Amino acid sequence: VVTILSKSHADRNVYPSAGVLFVHVLEREYFKGEFPPYPKPGDSSNDPITFNTNLMGYPDRPGWLRYIQRTLHSDGVLYGSPTAEHVGKLTVIEITAYNRRTFETARHNLVINIISTEDFPLPYQAEFFIKNMNVEEMLASEVLGDFLGAVKNVWQPERLNAINITSALDRGGRVPLPINDLKEGVYVKVGADVPFSSCLREVETPQNQLRCSQEMEPVISCDKKFRAQFNIDWCKISLVSKGVSVTQPAPGPGVLPDIGEYQPPSEELQSRDYFSDFVITLAVPSAIALVLFIILGYAMCCRREGVEKRNMQTPDIQLVHHSSIQKSTKELRSMSKNREISWPLSTLPVFHPVSGEVVPPLHPESYETTSMPLMQTQTNLQNQMQIPRQQPAGIFK
């Protein structure tokens, strides 16, 4: 069911069927007439327009209804598949158009009246994953009609309906890279009234299942009927039979025997004594820890020898030697406290590197050494002596 908003300001009523794909296109050309004309005469109006859709009185749409608009200059599309639970419920969708150039808005209401169908749901449903399509491309009536025609040619049903269309991004797929014209991919579910054809069943063969497990393309005889326009991933096809009676397997290996109805346990809980659990989990470990603590305390506090007992067991010569070392250490420490400040090396006499004579210090003995720097600067060079240089042989004055 594909509908387009009329240009009247009254509410638009649509009547989708339960279990059948519902598509509603929001055309930008219609809303352009409700906004001011383009300021420059003669130029084509191409204002960016976006749409906001929500259930009347609520901030979002119903769970079965989705909305997509790829760019600011493309039409918006409402699509989804109502179920039997929504039959008879009046659904009013508020549609608000925003002109991104003038920041003006226009609002209309879409009244959805969901009706039931006699053959809902169709017993045989197949879901295809098309890799070379985006959801807005697949929602176009021409593209969707071509796909249903290809499926009908392969399946040969009397009745064939599109049940739902879902973007691969809604199934956890990744956003494709913007190279080589990659597409997001779309899942298309269709239903029919006849069993699946042998071509659709080919994917269930062991050979094709093995190829799918190895990430290889399965061999499907009818793939050429889709390949011209639709690139189908046959490993992700899903075949479901609803409402079809299935014969019960006979009891045998892998089938549990009938042992009667399940008898749940009584709701009345019996009283239980937790004293034994307390003794095992707390009392016993605490008693063991206390015994170990007593043993450790006795070994550390009650078994100490003491200084007197240690000296009695030590030889006299070792005690005398230890006492002399202690006295010498104390004497050296007391002497170090009373010693004067050491003179810097620059105040000590040095030897002349050529003549070998003793050179007096750079400073006199009365020079204050406590504030003398360890490294001499150019200001201290006035007291230095000139060291004669050694002349080469054969040169005389």
* pLDDT at 223 exceeding the cut of 50: yes
Angle at the Cα of 341 (from 339 to 342), degrees rounded to 5? 105
| 67, 86, 114 - which closes a domain | 114
Q: Are residues 156 and 214 in the same domain?
A: yes
Return the closest-CA partner of residue 83 out of 55, 116, 52, 118: 116
Quick one: which of 106, 95, 94 has its CA closest to 26?
95
Q: What is the DSSP letter of 202?
A: G
In tens, the pLDDT along 248-267 reads 445 555 556 667 777 777 77
pLDDT at position 8 is 38
Check which CATH number belongs to the domain holding 51 and give it: 2.60.40.10
Distance of alpha carbon 194 from alpha carbon 158, whole angstroms = 7
* Edge-to-edge order in the sheet of strand 105-113: 12-14, 105-113, 90-99, 49-55
Q: Which residue do the tokens 């796909």 mark? A: 147
Decide if 351 is inside a domain.
no
Asked if residue 324 is part of any domain, the answer here is: no
In a domain? residue 217: yes
Domain contains 175: yes
Nearest to 163 by CA among 134, 184, 193: 193
* Cα angle, residue 352 at apex, residues 347 and 355 outer, rounded to 5°: 155
Q: Which amino acid is at 43?
A: D
Lowest mean pLDDT among 94-98, 233-237, 305-309, 390-394: 390-394
Characterize the bridge pairing of strands 238-241 and 76-80.
unpaired
Look at residues 68, 87, 114 and tell me which one is the last residue of a structural domain.
114
135, 36: one domain: no
Q: Which domain holds residue 173?
A: 124-241
Q: Please check the confidence at residue 162 and state whether its pLDDT lies above 80.
A: yes
Residue 188 identity: V
Task: Give domain status of residue 83, yes or no.
Answer: yes
DSSP code of 157? -
* Residue 111, SS3 per DSSP: strand
d(CA 70, CA 76): 8
Q: Flag whether the pTM goes above 0.85.
A: no
Which tokens hold the place of 328? 């010498």
Residues 92/107, Cβ–Cβ less than 8 Å: no
Among 81, 114, 147, give the residue marking a domain's end.
114
Tokens representing residue 97 in the block: 């158009």
Q: Quick one: pLDDT band at residue 289, thresholds 50, 70, 90?
A: very high
- Give mean pLDDT, residues 54-81: 91
Q: How confident is the model at residue 43 (pLDDT cuts 50, 70, 90)?
A: low
Q: pLDDT class for 233, splitting at 50, 70, 90?
A: very high
Residues of the chain with pLDDT > 70, as a percent, come to 75
Would the pLDDT of 171 be above 70? yes
Nearest 10 degrees: CA dihedral of 297, 298, 299, 304? 110
- Residue 355 domain flag: no
Residues 53 and 129 in one domain: no
Number of domains in the chain: 2
160 lies in the same domain as 215: yes
